[in-house]
Amino acid sequence: MTENEKRLRKNKQRRESRVRNREWENERKRLEYKKNAVEIRSKRKEYRAKNKKKIKEYGESLKSRILSWKKGARRRGIKWDINEDILLSLPMTCYYSKRKLTLKSNFLNTVSLDRINNKKGYVKGNVCFCMTVVNNAKSTMSKTQYINLANDIAKNNKQP
């Protein structure tokens, strides 16, 4: 067996060991939670009641949005290669409509992170802030396709 094969075998064993340890730790936590579920739920409920304002403020922070977007990208298998500084440098206006954005949820102008080119990941130069409703409408269209569609809708729905 060559040195390289030995090294690869050892690395594989380490990975397998980490996976087993993680599985064991998760099982231990699950059993602990099951044993103390009522007490844990009670403490969580008490914490939420005491810290409503703090929880709401965190939910409406850019940091919480970034964590959510990053988690969503990982879940969908999309490359995430941007840091918080890049996102903080982006203007808080919709890339498509130029409207001012808010971090509060359930508003027409709630901020969303869009990939300009959907074939690329969340990388520098390919992300922008836009309104959530615009991002949902755009879906997987390119910027040109989306703008053409929006122009067609506007042209065919002019007010008298």
Tally of structural domains, the chain:
1
Whole-number pLDDT of residue 158: 77
Evaluate whether residue 33 is within a structural domain: no
> Above 80 in pLDDT, residue 28?
yes
With respect to residue 133, please indicate whether it lies within any of the assigned structural domains.
Answer: yes
pTM of the model: 0.65
pLDDT single digits (tens) 77-93: 999 999 989 999 999 99
pLDDT over 90 (residue 124): yes
CB neighbour list of residue 142: distance below 8 Å, 6 or more residues apart: 117, 118
- CA dist 113 and 46 (Å) reads 33
The conformation of residue 51, written as its DSSP 8-state character, comes to: T
- Asked if the structure places residue 103 within a domain, the reply is yes
C-alpha 15: how far from its chain's center? 27
Does residue 119 register a pLDDT over 70? Answer: yes
- 61 in any annotated domain: no
